[in-house]
Amino acid sequence: MSKRDGSHQDEQQDIKSQIAEKEVSRREFLQKTALLGLTAAVPGSLFGLGTAMAADESAAGAEVQKKITGRVRVRELGIKIGRFNPGKWNAITDVPGVKVGYTTLISGEGQLVEGRGPVRTGVTVILPHDGNLRADPLFAAPHVLNGNGEMTGLAWVVESGLLTSPIGITNTHSVGVVRDALIEYDVKNGNIKQGTPWSLPVVAETYDGGLSDINGFHVKPEHVWQALESASDGVIAEGNVGGGTGMVCHGFKGGTGTSSRVLPESQGGWTVGVLVQANYGSKELLRVDGVPVGMELVQKEKGTAFTGEVPAEMGSIIIIVATNAPVIPTQCRRLAQRAGLGVARMGGTGGNGSGDIFLAFSTANRSIESANPAVPSSVKMLSHNAMSPLFEAVIEATEEAILNAMCKAETMTGANGKTVTALPLDDLVDIMKQYKRL
């Protein structure tokens, strides 16, 4: 046995002894076991930690600039989530036909005066295709992780399996305005006449009352129309934009984020895109690629060891999943469910005060509603046996979309001078290096 091998075994025995005597910190344990190959032998549940997915070998030795300039997406930091590749834009707009539009409302500062501000809010719209969704709906289905929130129109989506409107996302007290504006837009553009004579739009919310004058009702119909008419594909904004403008995620500035995954051709080559409005979570539970980033940041802020005490989770997250895979409503529901696993990987628990509502739709089947009710529509669908890679793609894209929302969001000061700081990217990189993820 070489001197190196003997030293290696001695170090292993030393670490095991320290664990038994509870004389090693979480950080030391995780770092040393990762280096010595003991991670698999000692379950992460010992310290209440989730299982981490290993980073791609090509990124393992990547050097990241010490001081990050500006706000960047998580991949620009060298952090890669999962094993599938993103699409060209790494966004929900990688799914052909999908467009996203925003109206962002930021005005005023200082003390809150209802009806005047400060205002830190907006509206996001997602157009699943360029046509009239009322006349040419898409297969869709929702999933509710915790229902302390709202997404209108779900009763018909569940009943019919169809998405018949653009999707709006805003703040909690503006849902009605956005819903009515989507109907008015359809009426004025003649879309009602081309489809059924009524409209049941899908509009979701998260609460931005900590930073914004939420009871001032600053989102107006014209803001919804602006978002609709400015919707585009390709690169889309993230962070403090649209409905995500005033949101907080895991104790840091949150907001709007997006990501995508493209399956290998051997698994169909399908694209999955995710957009989130992230406004949930406790700082202490924040994880990035399995690394307990929140615990490390809390310890750094307080200068003491993490005690394990975690505040009750409040807030919400809305997740929209799009795909061009030919899936039917029951399969859309299964995709929507998997978004919850992406939230869990980030450290979300779906707490009692959280509204965690997800919707998945497929752009693959068109002309589902035949003009002649006597003529059946033709539908394509994947085998259920082909769904597992799509599940994984949803989980990966959800986790990365949340991270992009946090990494791109900037520190914001809102009502009554409340300031929510942005996730410190330099610290994030340092922690990921400590845990051998960079």
* pLDDT at residue 195 in the model: 64
Question: Which structure tokens are listed for 428?
Answer: 């994030």
* pLDDT at residue 23 in the model: 35
User: Residue 342 — very low, low, confident or very high, per pLDDT cuts 50/70/90?
Assistant: very high
User: What percent of the chain has a predicted confidence (pLDDT) above 70?
Assistant: 84
β strands within 130-280, DSSP E: 138-147, 162-163, 167-171, 202-206, 248-249, 252-253, 255-262, 271-279
* pLDDT at residue 18 in the model: 47
* pLDDT at residue 374 in the model: 84
Residue 115's CB is within 10 A of a number of other CB atoms, namely 9
Q: Which amino acid, residue 158? A: V
Catalytic residue among 165, 174, 259, 316: 316
pLDDT higher than threshold 70 for residue 339:
yes
* pLDDT at residue 35 in the model: 35
Give the C-alpha distances (Å, rounded to integers) separating 334 from 4, 141, 384, 438. Answer: 50, 8, 10, 33
* pLDDT at residue 304 in the model: 81
The model's pLDDT over 379-415, given as tens digits with 9 standing for 90+, comes to 999 999 999 999 999 999 999 999 999 999 999 999 9
What average pLDDT does the chain have? Answer: 87
d(CA 290, CA 347): 9
Catalytic residue among 186, 213, 233, 356: 356
pLDDT higher than threshold 60 for residue 210:
yes
Q: Is 16 exposed, middle or buried (0-12, 13-18, 19+ CB in 10 A)?
A: middle
Which residues, other chains included, contact 59 with Cβ-Cβ below 8 Å and sequence gap of 6+? Answer: 78, 79, 80, 438
pLDDT mean over 283-301: 96
| Residue the block writes with tokens 């009239």 | 132
Give catalytic status of residue 354 as yes or no: yes
The model's pLDDT over 130-162, given as tens digits with 9 standing for 90+, comes to 999 988 999 999 999 999 999 999 999 999 999
* pLDDT at residue 332 in the model: 98
Secondary structure class of 27 (helix, strand, coil)? helix
Catalytic residue among 7, 354, 367, 427: 354
pLDDT higher than threshold 90 for residue 280:
yes
Q: Is 259 exposed, middle or buried (0-12, 13-18, 19+ CB in 10 A)?
A: buried
Closest-CA residue to 308 (of 111, 74, 36, 48): 48
Give catalytic status of residue 289 as yes or no: no
Residues 220 and 174 sit within 8 Å (Cβ to Cβ): no
| Residue the block writes with tokens 């929900």 | 92
d(CA 408, CA 200): 33
* pLDDT at residue 314 in the model: 78
The model's pLDDT over 47-89, given as tens digits with 9 standing for 90+, comes to 233 333 333 333 333 444 456 779 999 999 999 999 999 999 9
pLDDT higher than threshold 70 for residue 4:
no
pLDDT mean over 3-8: 46
User: What percent of the chain has a predicted confidence (pLDDT) above 90?
Assistant: 74
* pLDDT at residue 58 in the model: 39
User: Residue 306 — very low, low, confident or very high, per pLDDT cuts 50/70/90?
Assistant: confident
Give catalytic status of residue 356 as yes or no: yes
The model's pLDDT over 88-138, given as tens digits with 9 standing for 90+, comes to 999 999 999 999 999 999 999 999 999 999 999 999 999 999 999 988 999
For the chain, how big is the Rg over CA atoms in Å? 23
pLDDT higher than threshold 90 for residue 38:
no
